[in-house]
Amino acid sequence: MKAKKSILSMALATAVCISSITGCSSDTATRTLASSNAFGNLNLSVQEYQKLYSNSEEKDQFKALTLLARSQIVAGDYAHANESINEMFSKAKNDVQKDQASIVLAMMQSKQGYTDDAIATLKDVNYKALPRQALSYFLILNSNINNLQFQKTKNPENGIYAFKNQATLLKLVDSKNDRKKVIEKSVSILSAIDEKSLASALSRSNNEIDKGFYEYSIISRTSNDELKQNLLNDFAKRYSDHPVTEVVHIEPVDEQDNVKESNSIANVDSKAIFTLPENAKIAVLLPLSGRFAPSVGEPAKLGILTALKDRNIKANVVFYDTNKESISQIVATLKANGTKLILGPILKPEVTALNNTGIKIPSIVFNESETVRPVNQWYFDLGPNYEGSIAASKIFADQKQSAVVISKNNDQNAKRSATAFKHTFAKTKLTSNFCLYNSASNAKKELSNCPLSEVQAVYLNASTNDAVSIKPIIPATAQIYLTDKSYMGLNNSSSEFALKGALLGDMPWLLTDSQLKESFMKSLPKANPQVQKIFAAAYDSVAFAYSIEQLANNSEDVLHGLTGDITLGQDGLIETSPMWVELGKLR
């Protein structure tokens, strides 16, 4: 049975032509459009969508035109996008299509910074008549635009309206991962609204879901821990099935219960802890051939073998090539041969495939699953989201009250990191601003409107060369924070001294020279930061597997790994804290 695609992550199924889309026939265009959604993911270039529109039949032209206009907006080609939108209005055959054209128009207005116009455009849309996917798109867009307006004007009504769109969207999503994103977004939006406005919205609301979100947001601000626990206790009793409980563990506490004094014990489900016997059979699932082998499989294998050698572990380790055998085939073998632990995989689809088998063997993987995670599975987060969250936490810990995030416009990983930074920083009730650049050589002009003189901290998510070019633009009054993207592991290099004074958060093993680091650099001299992360996490996975019981028995205990200080996080996350150093100082 095929897995059902979620609304938020549904990708466009596009036909593949022998050469390129320019060689597709009208029949191919028809088949492509038939399998596409006008408000689904954009998988083609503007030129390809233009050709798709030119080759489309009359019945598919409006859908093709919608995709073309959206791609033009994303590419920043507003002149042609405006022409396409005008054509959408002229070709609209009914009110629903006119509303869809208005949605695309609002998208462009928002991208151009005309949030007032975008809000006015969306107010005239009869969203209740929209098809399901278009409605989902409308709600996300409307929420984002009103949230932007709220950040600009501080008008709480915009923030409340942004939240309400998310709450409505929640009724449309069904996958656990999608629901989690929408709920977390709702909580984040409300966290930035003042308590008085939330209390007013609560008193006016007749919707139990909305009321629960408002109440939780108000309760979460309570500084008195005892009072906060009592309020959460009451909340859990009155809203036992509220969506917020899907992402925040709220359990009512019976006042008659004897609360165990177990502060020294980590708050981890006992079923998540495992013990490895001597000579345990360990299976390692990695792409050891194919295109992901050099950048993913080989550095992970090297990390695991190095860790086993350094720790003198005599486990029976067997490597499985996920490029040659399917996950289900490998799992069938593991269930039968007495495997006690699985290390890997790394690629997200493979992690999801592993969990879809219903595996019961403990595992340590290197990506977050998109489906339900087994209770005895732990994972490293090696993605840019985690990097951005760590930077935000560090800046808040340093008591900086304002921050700007600078990242490259066409770098999707940088955008993900910046978004995670903003989300994490917002939890502190502080706000941050985005500033994007296209070329470091022209950054001074492109960042001229960035409020750098008004902030205390700048998170610069850029390559080493770009960071060196942009640093002189940033006033000395603002502390610069960098993460591993700006550092290739070469201590005291010319680029490091060009970034003198900036704080860098990276893996300890790269920030201090050692025999291990020297050996790695010789084995993989061209390794980028992501490859370095994979090697270090794979190395640490071995130490973690043999230390998990000790970490679970004492919440204050940490494992000093290559990736940083390791602790047991929530929901299976292996938390890693990087080392922060001031560049330009000898180490």
Structural Rg of the chain based on CA atoms: 26
Q: Does one domain contain both 344 and 401?
A: no
Whether 277 is covered by a domain: the verdict is: no
Q: Are 240 and 232 in contact (CB under 8 A)?
A: no
Tokens representing 368 are 């977050």
Q: Does one domain contain both 426 and 553?
A: yes
The predicted pLDDT at position 231 comes to 78
Q: Does one domain contain both 59 and 87?
A: yes
Q: Number of helices and strands (H, E) in the chain? A: 24, 14
> Where does a domain end: 193, 210, 238?
193
The predicted pLDDT at position 432 comes to 84
Whether 269 is covered by a domain: the verdict is: no
Tokens representing 485 are 């993207």
The predicted pLDDT at position 159 comes to 94
Q: Residue 62: what residue type?
A: F
Q: Identify any residues that bridge with 480 across adjacent strands, giving them in sequence order.
A: 458
> Where does a domain end: 377, 400, 417?
377
Q: Are 449 and 404 in contact (CB under 8 A)?
A: no
Q: Does one domain contain both 390 and 290?
A: no
CATH code of residue 358: 3.40.50.2300
Q: How far apart are CA 527 and CA 520, in angstroms?
A: 9
Q: How far apart are CA 359 and CA 4, in angstroms?
A: 21
Tokens representing 538 are 């794979």
Q: Does one domain contain both 426 and 372?
A: no
Q: How far apart are CA 290 and CA 513, in angstroms?
A: 32
Query: Is the Cα dihedral 254, 255, 258, 261 positive or negative?
Result: positive
Biggest distance spanned by C-alpha atoms of the chain: 74
Q: Where are the alpha helices (DSSP H) in 19-60?
A: 26-34, 46-55
Q: Where are the alpha helices (DSSP H) in 412-514?
A: 412-426, 443-446, 464-470, 494-498, 508-511
Upper half-sphere CA count for residue 530 (Cβ side, 13 Å): 13
Q: Does one domain contain both 450 and 558?
A: yes
Q: How far apart are CA 294 and CA 300, in angstroms?
A: 10
Cα dist from 467 to 399, 428, 471, 485, 502, whole Å: 23, 27, 6, 9, 10
Whether 555 is covered by a domain: the verdict is: yes
Provide DSSP, 319-359. EEETTTS-HHHHHHHHHHHT--EEE---SHHHHHHHHHTT-
Count structural domains, the chain.
3
Q: Does one domain contain both 366 and 515?
A: no
Whether 255 is covered by a domain: the verdict is: no
* pLDDT tens sequence for the chain (587 residues): 344 444 344 322 322 222 233 333 455 555 556 657 888 888 888 998 899 899 888 888 999 999 999 999 988 999 999 999 999 999 999 999 999 999 999 999 999 999 999 999 999 999 999 998 899 999 999 999 999 999 999 999 999 999 999 999 999 988 888 899 999 999 999 999 998 898 888 888 888 899 999 989 988 887 777 667 777 877 888 887 899 888 876 655 444 433 333 344 556 888 999 999 888 999 999 999 999 999 999 999 999 999 999 989 989 999 999 999 999 999 999 999 999 999 999 999 999 999 999 999 999 999 988 888 999 999 999 988 888 989 999 998 888 989 999 999 888 888 888 888 988 888 777 778 889 999 999 999 999 999 998 899 999 999 999 999 999 999 999 999 998 888 766 766 788 788 999 999 988 888 888 888 888 888 888 888 889 999 999 999 999 999 999 898 877 788 999 999 999 988 899 999 888 889 887 65
Q: How far apart are CA 392 and CA 405, in angstroms?
A: 10
CA angle 278, 281, 282 (to 5 degrees): 115
Whether 210 is covered by a domain: the verdict is: no
The predicted pLDDT at position 116 comes to 94
Q: Identify any residues that bridge with 434 across adjacent strands, giving them in sequence order.
A: 405
> Where does a domain end: 167, 193, 219?
193
The predicted pLDDT at position 162 comes to 95
Q: Does one domain contain both 413 and 360?
A: no
Q: Does one domain contain both 41 and 155?
A: yes
CATH code of residue 70: 1.25.40.10
CA angle 339, 344, 346 (to 5 degrees): 165
Q: How far apart are CA 302 and CA 354, in angstroms?
A: 22
Q: Does one domain contain both 503 and 356?
A: no
Q: Does one domain contain both 358 and 316?
A: yes
Q: Which long-range contacts (CB under 8 A, 24 or more apart) does 360-364 make?
A: 361/283, 361/334, 361/335, 362/274, 364/541, 364/544, 364/545, 364/574
Q: Domain containing 65: what range? A: 21-193
Whether 137 is covered by a domain: the verdict is: yes
Query: Is the Cα dihedral 97, 102, 105, 110 positive or negative?
Result: negative
Whether 550 is covered by a domain: the verdict is: yes
Q: Residue 374: what residue type?
A: P
Q: Are 270 and 568 in contact (CB under 8 A)?
A: no
The predicted pLDDT at position 542 comes to 96
Provide DSSP, 55-89. H--GGGHHHHHHHHHHHHHHTT-HHHHHHHHHHHH
Q: Does one domain contain both 401 and 364?
A: no
Q: Which one-letter DSSP state was computed for residue 15?
A: P
Q: Per the omega criterion (within 30 degrees of 0), is the bond before 243 cis?
A: no
Whether 200 is covered by a domain: the verdict is: no
Tokens representing 251 are 């359990």
Q: Encode 255-294: b = buried (16+ Cβ within 10 Å), e = exposed.
A: eeeeeeeeeeebebeeebbbebeeebbbbbbbbbeeebbe
The predicted pLDDT at position 37 comes to 84
Strand pairing report for 341-343 and 316-321: unpaired
Cα dist from 358 to 5, 102, 150, 337, 364, whole Å: 20, 45, 44, 17, 15
Q: Residue 329: what residue type?
A: Q
Q: Report the predicted TM-score, pTM, of the whole model to 2 decimal places.
A: 0.55
Tokens representing 130 are 């929209």
Q: How far apart are CA 332 and CA 330, in angstroms?
A: 5
Q: Identify any residues that bridge with 457 across adjacent strands, giving them in sequence order.
A: 403, 479
